[in-house]
Amino acid sequence: MRHSRLSLLALVTAATLSGCASAAKPSSTPTPARDTTRAAPGLGGVSTPNADPFPSTYVRFPSAPLVIRNVNIFTATGPLIRNGAIAVADGKIIAVGQTVETPAGARVIDGNGKYVTPGIIDTHSHIGAGGAPGTQANSDVNEATNPVTANVWVEHSVWPQDPQIPRDLAGGVTTFQVLPGSANLIGGRSVVLKVVPSRTVQGMKFPGAKYGLKMACGENPKRVYAQRGPSTRMGNVAGYRAAWIQAEQYRRRWDKWNADHKGDPPARDLGLETLAEVLRGNMLVHNHCYRADEMAQMIDISKEFGYKIRAFHHGVEAYKIADILAKEGIGGSLWADWGAFKMEALDGVKANIALVDRAGARVAVHSDDPSGSQRLNQEAAKAMAAGNLAGIPVTEEQAVKWLTINPAWQLGIDDKTGSLEPGKNADLILWNADPFSVYAKPEKVWIDGALLYDRLDPRQQWRTDFELGFVPAGASR
C-alpha cells in the first residue's frame, strides 16, 4: 500500500487524535516497564514512581499486511536466511523463514537479490534537540547552567520538524534515543523516539520505553565548569556522589510516604525524583565516558549507591576493560573510528567494537552525529573490517546485532523491536544491496508495518515543515 504525501499527512493527524482519545489503562505493576498510570489531576506535587506526565500518543500508521519474498534476511538472531521470506500483519512480524504464508490482502514485494534487516536503532542522538539549521535559537542540547541538571527532560527540547529526522529514517533508523549533552555530570532524562512524522514529541515517543539518565565523565564537565567547579576529575566524582547521596535520602523519604501516606508529602524535587527513579531501577543509566580508568570508577560509584549502568557511551577505551564490562553486564555504545580529537579520545582504535563484542559485552554502533546516524550500516562495516584485520573474526550476522538487537537491549526495548521474530514490531529495512557494502542504501523502511520511506517514490519521502520552501524540492535522500 502506498500513501501519497497528502494521505500520509492525514494519517499523522488521525494517529495523533486517536492517541489522545484513547484512555490510559492503570497498571498494577509499576516495574520494570514504565507503566501508563497517570497521577490524578491536582497531584502534581506528589512524587510518584513511574509517573508519566507526558505520555506517548503514538499510534502506528495504518497499513496492509506485507510479504517480502525471495530476499536475503538478517534476522539479528540467527544465520542469514538466503532467498527467504518475511510476513507482516497488524504492525507485527508474523513469520520469517525460507517461505511464509501470505496473509489475505497482503502487498507482496519480490526482493530479488536484496536484503532485509531490522530497523536500525541509534542509542546516541541529539537530533531534534540540536536542530538543523544549527542556530543558537535551536541549540537545546546542553542545559549548561549547573553541573547537575537531573531535573531536565530532553523531550522538552525536541523539535519534531527537525529536517534531520526524515534523513535518519532514509538511512534506515527506525528508533533513536535523544540524550541531553555531555556538558554536565548529570545531564537529565533521555527519551526514546520512533522516527515518524508527528506534530508533537508525544506522538513520537516509543510506547513502553523506559527513560534513560545521561551522565558524563571526564573532560567536558570539568571544562564547562572550570570557573565554578568541578574543574578536575576528582571534582567530577565528588559531584556525582553528592548528587546520589541526596537522591538516596529523597528516595527513602518518598518511598516511606508512598507506602503509608502519613502526614504531608515531602517537598517534590524534579532532579532528585529522576535520580530516585534510577535508584529504584525504573530508569537506565547511559554514561558518556571515554577512558578505561574512569569507566572503572563509575562502576564503583554505581555499586556504592546501588544502581546499574546500562551502557557506556563513546567508550573509546572500552577495549582495555572489555572483560570488566562483560562481567558487569554493561553495554557499550561505541564509534567505529572516531578518536584522537581530544586527550581522553587519544587511544581510540578501530578494533574497539570487535574487541568488546568478543569479550561478551553487548555492543552497539552509535552515532552522536546526525550525519553518521544516517550511515550506521557503513560504520558497522568499518568496525567489522577492522576486527577482521586485527585477527578478530566478525561475521555479518554479528555486525547486524550491533545495529539492532544490542542497541534495543541498551534501551530496554529488545522485547519489542531489534530483531525479526514473530510477535515483534515490524520495524524493517529493505536494502538495495548487502547492507555492509558502501553502495547499499535503504530502499524502503517500515515502522510497525507501515511503509514510511520509499527511495523510489518521492511521494513517500517525508519533508518537515521547515523544509517546505527553504530546501529545494526534488532532492532525493
Partner 1 sequence: MTRTISWAFAVVGLSAALLGTAGLADAQTIAITGGKVYPVSSAPIENATVLIRDGKIVAVGANVSVPADARRIDASGKWVTPGFINSSTQLGLVEVGQIQQTHEDVARGKDFIAAAFTVWDGLNSQSVMLAPARKEGVTSVVVIPQGNLLVSGQAAMLDLVDGMPSDMVIRAPVAMVSQVQSPTSAGASARGELLLRLRELIEDTRAYMRNRAAFERHETRDFIASRLDLQAMIPVVEGRLPLLIGADKATDIDAALKLARDNGLKIMIGGGAEGWMVANRLAAARVPVLTGAMNNIPGSFTTLGQIQENAGLLRRAGVPVLLIGNSGSGDEETFNVRNLKQEGGNAVAYGMSWEDALRSVTLTPAEVFGVADRIGSLQPGREANVVVWTGDPFEFSTKVEHVFVRGRESVQPTRQDLLTERYKTLPPSPANPIR
Q: Which three cell numbers stand for residue 256?
A: 516511606
Closest distance of CB 420 from partner 1, Å: 23
Q: Which is closer to partner 1, CB of 163 or CB of 172?
A: 163
User: Nearest-5° angle of CA 190, CA 217, CA 371?
Assistant: 55
CA distances from 349 to 319, 340, 355 (A): 9, 9, 10
Taking the complex as a whole, the smallest distance from the CB of residue 456 to partner 1 amounts, in Å, to 15
As measured in angstroms, the least distance from the Cβ of 190 to partner 1 is: 22
**Residue nearer to partner 1 on the CB measure, 216 or 276:** 216
Rank residues 51 and 178 by Cβ distance to partner 1 and give the closer one. Answer: 178
Show the cell assigned to 129: 534537540
| Closest approach of partner 1 to the CB of residue 312, in Å | 16
- Output the CA torsion 208→213→214→215 (10° steps): -150
Instruction: Supply the minimum distance, in Å, between the C-beta of residue 292 and partner 1.
Output: 9
Residue type at 262 in one-letter notation: K
Q: Which is nearer to partner 1, 83 or 161 (CB)?
A: 161
Give min distance, CB of 320 to partner 1, in A: 5
Q: Give phi and psi for 455, each to the nearest 5.
A: -65, -25
CB of 349 to partner 1, least distance (A): 4
By C-beta, is 456 or 470 nearer to partner 1? 470
Asked, as a colleague might, if the bond just before 133 is cis with ω within 30 of 0, I would say: yes
Element (H, E) at 359: helix 352-359
244 CB neighbour count, 10 Å cutoff: 21
Measured between alpha carbons, how far is 201 from 206 in angstroms, rounded to an integer?
Answer: 10
Beta carbon nearer to partner 1, 170 or 428:
170
Q: Which CB, 269 or 369, lies closer to partner 1? A: 369
Nearer to partner 1 by C-beta: 307 or 436? 436
Residue 82 amino acid letter? R
- 22 or 371: whose CB is closer to partner 1? 371
From residue 72, how far is each of 84, 86, 249 by CA, in Å? 6, 10, 54
Least distance in angstroms from the C-beta of 438 to partner 1: 3
The SS3 call for residue 449 is coil
Sheet of strand 331-334, all strands in order from the earlier edge strand to the far edge: 186-189, 212-216, 284-289, 309-314, 331-334, 363-365
What percentage of the chain's residues is helix, strand, coil (to nearest 5)?
A: 30, 20, 50
- Going by C-beta distance under 8 Å and a sequence separation of 6 or more, which residues neighbour residue 41? none
**Residue ranges in contact with partner 1 by CB under 8 A:** 132-134, 163-164, 167, 219, 319-323, 337-343, 345-351, 355, 359, 369-372, 374-375, 378, 381-382, 384-385, 388-392, 436-441, 466-467, 470-472, 475-477
425 in Cβ contact with 417 (< 8 Å): yes
CB of 229 to partner 1, least distance (A): 20
Provide the minimum distance between the beta carbon of 132 and partner 1 in the complex, in angstroms, as a whole number.
Answer: 5
Report the candidate in 206, 215, 224, 264 with the shortest Cα–Cα distance to residue 244. 215
**Cα separation, 289 vs 317, whole angstroms:** 9
Report the alpha-carbon distance of residue 241 to residue 276 in Å, rounded. Answer: 14
